[in-house]
Amino acid sequence: MNKNIKQFLIKVIILVAAIFISRVIFQFPVEYFDLDLLKQSELTRLFSKIDALQVTAFLAVFFGFYYKERIQKLEHPKTNMKSSVLFVIGAEIVIALYYITRASANYYNVTGGLLLYLIQAAILFLLALAFLFFALAVFQPSYLKKFIIEFKKELPIFAILGVVMYLVLMWWQKQWYFFSYSVSKILHGLISFLYGGLSYYEIGIDGPLVGLKDFIINIGPPCSGIDSMFLFIAFSAAIFALDHKRIKKSAFFISSAIGFLGVYLVNVIRLLLLVLAGVYISPEFSVGLFHTNAGWILFIIYFLAYYLVIRKFIYIDRVAKVSRAKK
């Protein structure tokens, strides 16, 4: 792989990781100590940050592979650690201002009017500014300037595609009940097998309820695994779009079907770990930080392992193909 494209992909991973770690640092005390003033309401939520980060990560990696010939020509400057640290500090300050802004909406009980619109606009601005600072810290200003000039036409198209993909993901999440029901039955079976009569199961108004001892969770949309399934389909489609000329079609589709089933089972494992975390660590940690972040971390680990395995079977052997052509 070309050095420049390799650095680009590595920096995309670093950017996503930096944003994720920053979110954990700020969100953990809010969830663990139950700081209601700093929690977001339906009026200040605006959009799902985790889902938006997933979509951004997917599109950034896809962008890198799709335009790899042009990205290969963009040299990466030497990292200026001093400026990178300053940009990271700036990003953290902006995120702190974001939390203060949404806390002010809770403190003053803002529920409508011009003030609410101003707060929502401030939230969007601060989140965008924090993302920009993180990007500047990872990629360096000179590289980003060259990158924006090179892809000034493509970036708006991918931005629109990102919004569309996010909206499709939100629609997909609404088709959650079938998966929640089937996941809950398997999860209850596992807990019953491991703990016998200490398990709990009931069909509630907002979805199935599964529990162990005194800790009970509602298997609603976030627990259905529907996000991971959507992303798996998106990643598989991206692989096919990029490499369809050198992919064994039958092997690819069989592997995708098996991989899709694997995503479903990984979600069951995640929920089992969530229940165990609620029983043996703390309910606040389980339904807060663990619930929010474990899903996509496990998905990334699973998909990387899945791809490393299937790549040995789905790609056409070029050496064999060339030797047959010579004969």
What pLDDT is recorded for position 318?
53
What pLDDT is recorded for position 130?
98
Q: At what angle do helices 249-280 and 291-314 cross, to 10 degrees?
A: 150
Burial of 178 (0-12, 13-18, 19+ CB in 10 A): exposed
The stretch 105-126 carries a mean pLDDT of 95
* Percent of the chain topping pLDDT 70: 97
* Percent of the chain topping pLDDT 90: 61
> What tokens were used for 185?
């039955």
Nearest 5 degrees, angle CA 106-CA 112-CA 114?
110
The stretch 189-197 carries a mean pLDDT of 88
Question: Is the pLDDT confidence value at 289 over 80?
Answer: no
H helices of 220-290, in order, are: 226-243, 249-280, 283-285
What pLDDT is recorded for position 310?
93
β-partners of residue 212 are 199, 215
What pLDDT is recorded for position 325?
47
The per-residue pLDDT of the chain, averaged, comes to: 90
Q: Does residue 232 contact residue 303 with C-beta atoms inside 8 Å? A: yes
Contacts of 317 (CB under 8 A, 6+ apart): none
What pLDDT is recorded for position 323?
47
Strand, helix or coil for residue 204: strand
CA distance to 8, 35, 45, 140, 145, per residue, from 152 (Å) = 17, 42, 30, 18, 10
Residue type, 164: V
Residue 202 sits at φ, ψ, to 5 deg, of -160, 145
pLDDT band (50, 70, 90) for residue 160: very high
> What tokens were used for 313?
């079977």
The stretch 202-207 carries a mean pLDDT of 82
The helix (run of H) or strand (run of E) holding residue 112 is: none
Kindly report which listed range (36-50, 85-99, 101-115, 233-247) carries the lowest average pLDDT score. 233-247
Q: At what angle do helices 291-314 and 226-243 cross, to 10 degrees?
A: 30
CA 254, distance to chain mean position in Å, is 25
The whole-angstrom separation of Cα 102 and Cα 58 is: 28
pLDDT band (50, 70, 90) for residue 79: very high
Higher-scoring residue by pLDDT: 110, 238: 110
What pLDDT is recorded for position 174?
81
Question: Is the pLDDT confidence value at 67 over 80?
Answer: yes
Residue 217 sits at φ, ψ, to 5 deg, of -120, 150
What pLDDT is recorded for position 137?
98
Q: Does residue 133 contact residue 14 with C-beta atoms inside 8 Å? A: no
What pLDDT is recorded for position 187?
92
What pLDDT is recorded for position 327?
52
pLDDT band (50, 70, 90) for residue 275: very high
Nearest 5 degrees, angle CA 288-CA 22-CA 88?
170
Residue 207 sits at φ, ψ, to 5 deg, of 130, 170
The whole-angstrom separation of Cα 228 and Cα 100 is: 31
Q: Does residue 64 contact residue 8 with C-beta atoms inside 8 Å? A: yes
Higher-scoring residue by pLDDT: 224, 158: 158
What pLDDT is recorded for position 198?
77
